[in-house]
């Protein structure tokens, strides 16, 4: 079985395509389970964020796995198969492992270094565990990715440099139109409306309150969630039915919901504009995918609309300063890539060593069998041996076998991660005449044996 990832992201597809491909809520859980039930799949994990949809699977066949995942992605999204495959990317085995590590560390994000992706990976893993789709391989890989992400933010400056979509979006929203920069921006004195109550909306509310916005309001399709979020930060909860009036009273509107359709339509914005005579332009910051705000609303006089495409365009300029937010610089990115390389190398070494463990176990089992057989022959020739003598002879024969096998077993583990590793393992099986069925029996070993193999691989 091998790890496969099939996905679409901001780097491979335009927002208009991506917003039709992203799944969330019940649709994400259904896709997760359907992938897991495919013939060639032993485990599945679905990562769905505002700018990517990725399916990770443990598969026994590459082509069969790709075909099944692409078909299910098309079925659960709003994309025909031909359009999906034209924008999708595929990574397999070692490259798939490296990709997940890079994603968890923020290297593949629209804004390089943003920290929200780590929590999104964690949520994807939690969902897979809840539905029982996380195989042993994917579980180990998930732990590795989360550890790499934590290291990236703890050991490098990318956590401070890499801004979240909310932070960068705010820089674009309250700075001058076009290319932002210059004096640090502030939300002080602004009336801000946040639509949504998820993690990104929570970050937007917290940022607005921290920067002393004059008034912060929260609207959500579930009033209770809006009230809880507003209460946490001393903001005000409002109803979605009051959107025209709330937009009219706001300087900046930030949207990030999981709605399938537009939450803020051009008609709603037109109603709000009728009540805004003499005020500065209304700024709309849409951080949702699919988009919350109808594109036509941004073309109305007195409205400035910023969406993920605008944020992404700003977030791809490494090292550029945007007001008070500095994007990830080359030194931080290089340091995180080193962490990814280190974790990947350690994973591959353990994986290769574990792959030869059945051969090593079978070899030692055969040696133990030979020792017992020769000891039994010795007893028949010499007559009954007293327990102490038999024990001494058995220990001596065992030590001889261990010393003879020590070099070959250590060397095959060392060579496991090098080119031609399969041939070294094959040579060991041939030279010691190991029964293939005995090796295969070890490959179906229990957890205790697998833990032993991994421990042996690190010694």
pLDDT value, residue 374: 84
Bridge partners of 325? 322
287 and 251 within one domain:
yes
Statement to judge: residues 275 and 378 lie in one domain: no
Higher pLDDT, 388 or 185: 388
For this structure, is 70 an active site residue? no
Residue 328 lies in a domain: no
Domain harbouring 269, CATH code: 3.40.50.720
Q: Where are the alpha helices (DSSP H) in 316-446?
A: 330-382, 387-414, 421-431, 436-443
What's the pLDDT score for residue 178?
46
Residues 9, 134: one domain? yes
Is pLDDT at 357 greater than 50 in this prediction?
yes
Tell me the backbone φ, ψ of residue 261, rounded to 5 degrees: -115, -175
Distance CA 399, CA 359 (A): 20
Average pLDDT over residues 429-437: 62
Cis peptide before 290 (omega within 30 of 0): yes
pLDDT of residue 431: 54
pLDDT of residue 375 exceeding 70: yes
Query: What's the rounded Cα separation, in Å, for the pair 402 and 430?
Result: 19
156 part of a folded domain: yes
- CA count, 13 A, side-chain hemisphere, 229: 30
pLDDT at 163: 59
pLDDT at 316: 56
| In a shared domain, residues 72 and 123 | yes
**Domain range enclosing 50:** 2-162
**Are residues 69 and 54 in contact, defined by beta-carbon separation less than 8 angstroms?**
no
Question: What mean pLDDT is predicted for residues 437-449?
Answer: 46
Q: pTM for this structure?
A: 0.67
Do 216 and 73 belong together in one domain? no
Asked if the structure places residue 288 within a domain, the reply is: yes
Is residue 277 domain-shared with residue 188, that is, in the same domain? yes
Out of 50, 70, 105, 256, pick the active-site residue.
50
Are residues 305 and 295 in contact, defined by beta-carbon separation less than 8 angstroms? Answer: yes
Residues 6+ apart with CB under 8 A from 287: 50, 165, 166, 169, 200, 204, 254, 255, 256, 307, 308, 311
| Domain assignment present for 20 | yes
Confidence of residue 377 (pLDDT cuts 50, 70, 90): confident
DSSP run (H or E) holding 325: strand 325-326
- CATH number of the CATH domain containing 32: 3.30.460.30
**What order do you get walking across the sheet with 41-49 strand by strand?**
41-49, 52-59, 2-9, 89-92
Residue that is last in its domain, among 308, 341, 372: 308
- Angle, nearest 10°, between helix axes 199-210 and 223-233? 30
Q: CA-CA distance, 203 to 199, in Å (whole number)?
A: 6
Q: What is the mean pLDDT of the chain?
A: 82
Question: What's residue 452's pLDDT?
Answer: 42
Interatomic CA distance for residues 414 and 127, integer angstroms? 37
Q: What is the mean pLDDT of residues 17-34?
A: 89
Query: pLDDT: is 154 or 259 the higher one?
Result: 154
Q: 444 falls in which pLDDT band (50, 70, 90)?
A: very low
How much of the chain exceeds pLDDT 90, in percent?
A: 39
Q: Which residue has the higher pLDDT, 70 or 387?
A: 70
Model confidence at 448, pLDDT cuts 50, 70, 90, reads very low
* Residue 225 sits in the same domain as residue 133: no
Residue count (the chain): 459
Q: Is the pLDDT of residue 277 over 70?
A: yes
Is the model more confident about 317 or about 37?
37
More confident residue, 138 or 167: 138
pLDDT of 457 reads 42
Q: Do 77 and 39 meet the contact criterion of CB atoms below 8 Å apart?
A: no
Q: How many CB atoms lie within 10 A of CB 370?
A: 12
CA–CA separation, 31 vs 56, rounded Å? 11
Q: How much of the chain exceeds pLDDT 70, in percent?
A: 80
Beta bridge partners of 47: 54
223 & 249 share domain: yes
Residue partners of 62: CB distance under 8 A and separation at least 6: 2, 4, 92
Average pLDDT over residues 32-54: 92
320 or 163, higher pLDDT:
163
- What's the pLDDT band for 181 if we cut at 50, 70, 90? very low
pLDDT of residue 169: 86
Residue 334 within a domain:
no
Residues 205 and 287 in one domain: yes
d(CA 94, CA 85): 22
- Is-contact 149 104, C-beta < 8 A? yes
Domain-located, residue 86: yes
Residue 147 lies in a domain: yes
Greater pLDDT, 168 or 99: 99
Say how many domains are in the chain. 3
442 band by pLDDT with thresholds 50, 70 and 90: very low
| Pair (255, 390) in one structural domain | no
CA separation for the pair 15, 312 (Å, rounded): 10
pLDDT at site 354:
60
Q: Which of 96, 131, 162 is the last residue of a domain?
A: 162
Q: How far apart are CA 420 and CA 427, in angstroms?
A: 11
409-425, pLDDT tens digit by residue? 766 666 655 555 555 56
21 shares a domain with 155 = yes
Pair (431, 392) in one structural domain: yes
Radius of gyration in angstroms for the set of CA atoms belonging to the chain, rounded to a whole number: 29
Q: What is the longest distance spanned by two Cα atoms in the chain?
A: 112
Domain-located, residue 249: yes
pLDDT of residue 257: 87
- The answer to whether the beta carbons of residues 144 and 358 sit under 8 Å apart is no
């Amino acid at each position: 079985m091998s790890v496969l990832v099939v996905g679409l992201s901001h780097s491979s597809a335009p927002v208009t395509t991506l917003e039709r491909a992203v799944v969330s809520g019940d649709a994400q859980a259904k896709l997760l389970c359907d992938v897991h039930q495919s013939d060639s799949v032993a485990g599945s994990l679905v990562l769905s964020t505002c700018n990517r949809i990725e399916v990770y699977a443990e598969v026994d066949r590459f082509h069969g796995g790709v075909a099944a995942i692409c078909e299910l992605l098309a079925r659960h999204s709003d994309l025909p198969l031909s359009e999906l495959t034209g924008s999708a990317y595929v990574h397999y085995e070692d490259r798939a492992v490296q990709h997940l590590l890079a994603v968890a560390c923020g290297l593949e994000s629209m804004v390089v270094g943003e920290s929200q992706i780590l929590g999104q990976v964690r949520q994807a893993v939690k969902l897979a565990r809840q539905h029982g789709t996380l195989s042993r391989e994917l579980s180990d890989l998930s732990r590795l990715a989360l550890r790499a992400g934590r290291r990236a933010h703890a050991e490098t400056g990318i956590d401070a440099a890499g801004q979240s979509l909310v932070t960068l979006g705010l820089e674009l929203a309250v700075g001058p139109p076009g290319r932002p920069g210059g004096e640090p921006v502030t939300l002080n004195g602004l009336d801000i409306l946040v639509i949504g109550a998820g993690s990104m909306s929570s970050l937007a509310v917290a940022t607005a309150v921290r920067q002393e916005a004059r008034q912060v309001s929260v609207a959500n399709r579930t009033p209770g969630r809006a009230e809880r979020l507003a209460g946490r930060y001393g903001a005000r909860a409002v109803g979605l039915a009051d959107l025209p009036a709330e937009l009219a009273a706001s300087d900046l509107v930030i949207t990030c919901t999981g709605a399938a359709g537009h939450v803020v339509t051009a008609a709603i914005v037109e109603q709000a504009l009728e009540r805004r005579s003499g005020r500065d332009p209304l700024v709309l910051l849409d951080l949702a995918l699919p988009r919350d705000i109808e594109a036509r609303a941004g073309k109305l006089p007195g409205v400035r609309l910023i969406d993920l495409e605008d944020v992404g365009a700003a977030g791809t300029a490494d090292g550029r300063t945007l007001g008070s937010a500095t994007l990830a610089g080359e030194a931080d990115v290089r340091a995180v890539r080193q962490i990814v390389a280190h974790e990947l190398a350690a994973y591959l070494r353990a994986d290769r060593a574990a792959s030869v463990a059945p051969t090593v176990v079978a070899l030692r089992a055969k040696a133990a069998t030979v020792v017992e057989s020769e000891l039994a022959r010795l007893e028949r020739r010499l007559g009954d041996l007293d327990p102490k003598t038999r024990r001494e002879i058995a220990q001596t024969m065992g030590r001889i076998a261990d010393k003879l096998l020590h070099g070959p077993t250590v060397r095959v583990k060392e060579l496991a991660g090098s080119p031609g590793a399969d041939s070294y393992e094959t040579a060991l099986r041939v030279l010691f005449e190991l029964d293939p069925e005995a090796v295969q029996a070890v490959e179906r070993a229990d957890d205790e044996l697998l833990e032993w193999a991994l421990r042996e691989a690190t010694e």
